[in-house]
């Protein structure tokens, strides 16, 4: 049975989707703490930082092979799902989200901006906790991007991971891109040395994962293929250097549109500070 908190989280994302549909060209990311946001590149809805999203897309695309059938869970407004399909010419994708309003946006985005992908991409409204009632060992790859962290307990998160395993083919891969408490703590250790305010592990509706908990959970279920801190350099520059050295001194108002964000996204990766971390797991 859905808890009040789960319902509140779902209502929150429905609201974000509706607000996104009502956006104007003048809306931009204004405030790190803002409940509603839309980035200047028009992605909107699910992630404030468009450069970080691009890093995510680049790294996910590297893990998907020609001809595979991919389930993208928590597809939001469909932007990343459609970009996967655009960059991978020979894959089929099903994007799902528990928010009906997000799915409306995804379908609209596809028909408006990606009409050439209609034959290879579908969007449907489903809950991650009910996947096995719909599919059985059907997908070569499942992508979960900041979906599990929207479940308010480790118990529910494990249930979601169990559901994902049931819909993966034998030997299929889970690309798990979720928030890592461990990486947040490493980044905060750097911030502490510089006498900076600690960063939080997500928003009110997020429960970030502990690496040890996840590794204990996957024993006998998944083989760990790799761990990717795909935005480590980016986080050090944009979440530490930018706030310590630049913001308030050379730039008065926070925005993700500054050139330093774009430049940071193009630098070689270093360290384990990227708290949106990727685990690539193979079903056994």
> How many folded domains does the chain comprise?
1
Indicate the pTM of the whole model.
0.90
Quick check: 283 and 222 in contact, CB under 8 A?
Answer: yes
**Please, which pLDDT band fits residue 63 given cuts at 50, 70 and 90?**
very high
Residue 113 has pLDDT above 90, yes or no: yes
List pLDDT tens digits, range 155-204.
Answer: 999 999 999 999 999 999 999 999 999 999 999 999 999 999 988 888 88
Residue 84 has pLDDT above 70, yes or no: yes
Say which residues have a Cβ less than 8 Å from residue 252's Cβ, sequence separation at least 6. Answer: none
Task: Starting at the earlier edge strand, list the strands of the sheet with 92-97.
Answer: 121-125, 92-97, 69-73, 139-145, 168-179, 276-283, 222-228
Q: Percent of the chain, pLDDT > 70?
A: 90
**pLDDT confidence of residue 41:** 44
Name the 3-class secondary structure at 255: coil
Distant-in-sequence contacts of 212-215, Cβ < 8 A, 24+ apart: 213/154, 214/176, 214/279
**pLDDT confidence of residue 253:** 76
Q: Percent of the chain, pLDDT > 90?
A: 74
> Considering Cα of 59, then 63, then 65, then 67, what sign does the dihedral take?
negative
Say which residues have a Cβ less than 8 Å from residue 39's Cβ, sequence separation at least 6. Answer: 28, 29, 47, 48, 49, 50, 256
Instruction: Give me the mean pLDDT over the 70-80 stretch.
Output: 96
Please give the DSSP secondary-structure letter assigned to residue 135.
-
Q: Which of 29-33, 108-112, 233-237, 280-284 has the lowest mean pLDDT?
A: 29-33
- For residue 42, count CB atoms less than 10 angstroms from its CB and return exposed for 0-12, middle for 13-18, buried for 19 or more: middle
Residue 230 has pLDDT above 50, yes or no: yes
Comparing CA positions, the residue from 187, 96, 184 lying closest to residue 147 is 96
**pLDDT confidence of residue 45:** 55
**pLDDT confidence of residue 202:** 80
CATH of the domain at 164: 3.40.50.150
C-alpha 139/C-alpha 71 separation (Å) is 6
Quick check: 34 and 216 in contact, CB under 8 A?
Answer: no
Say which residues have a Cβ less than 8 Å from residue 38's Cβ, sequence separation at least 6. Answer: 20, 23, 27, 28, 29, 44, 45
**pLDDT confidence of residue 136:** 94
Domain extent, residue 13, equals 4-283
Comparing CA positions, the residue from 160, 186, 190, 154 lying closest to residue 174 is 160
Q: What is the mean pLDDT of the chain?
A: 89
Q: 157 - beta bridge partners?
A: none
**pLDDT confidence of residue 33:** 41
For the chain, the C-alpha Rg in angstroms (whole number) is 18
């Amino acid at each position: 049975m859905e808890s009040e908190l789960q319902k509140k989280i779902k209502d929150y994302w429905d609201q974000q989707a509706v607000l996104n549909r009502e956006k104007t060209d003048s809306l931009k990311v204004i405030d790190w703490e803002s409940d509603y946001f839309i980035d200047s590149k028009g992605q909107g809805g699910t992630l404030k930082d468009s450069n970080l999203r691009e890093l995510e897309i680049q790294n996910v695309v590297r893990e998907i092979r020609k001809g595979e059938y991919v389930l993208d869970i928590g597809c939001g407004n469909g932007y990343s799902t459609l970009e996967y399909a655009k960059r991978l010419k020979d894959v089929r994708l099903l994007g799902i989200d528990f928010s009906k309003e997000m799915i409306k946006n995804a379908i609209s985005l596809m028909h408006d901006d990606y009409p050439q992908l209609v034959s290879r991409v579908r969007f449907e409204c489903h809950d991650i906790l009910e996947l096995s009632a719909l599919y059985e060992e059907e997908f070569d790859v499942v992508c979960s991007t900041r979906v599990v962290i929207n479940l308010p307990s480790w118990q529910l998160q494990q249930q979601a991971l169990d559901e994902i395993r049931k819909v993966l083919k034998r030997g299929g891969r889970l690309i798990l891109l979720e928030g890592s408490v461990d990486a947040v703590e490493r980044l905060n250790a750097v911030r502490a040395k510089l006498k900076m305010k600690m960063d939080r592990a997500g928003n009110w509706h997020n429960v970030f994962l502990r690496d040890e908990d996840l590794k204990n959970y996957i024993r006998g279920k998944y083989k760990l293929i790799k761990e990717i801190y795909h935005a480590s350099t980016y986080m050090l520059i944009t979440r530490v250097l930018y706030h310590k050295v630049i913001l308030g001194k050379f730039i008065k108002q926070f925005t993700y549109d500054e050139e330093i964000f774009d430049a940071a996204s193009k630098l070689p990766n270093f360290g384990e500070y990227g708290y949106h971390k990727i685990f690539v797991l193979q079903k056994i």
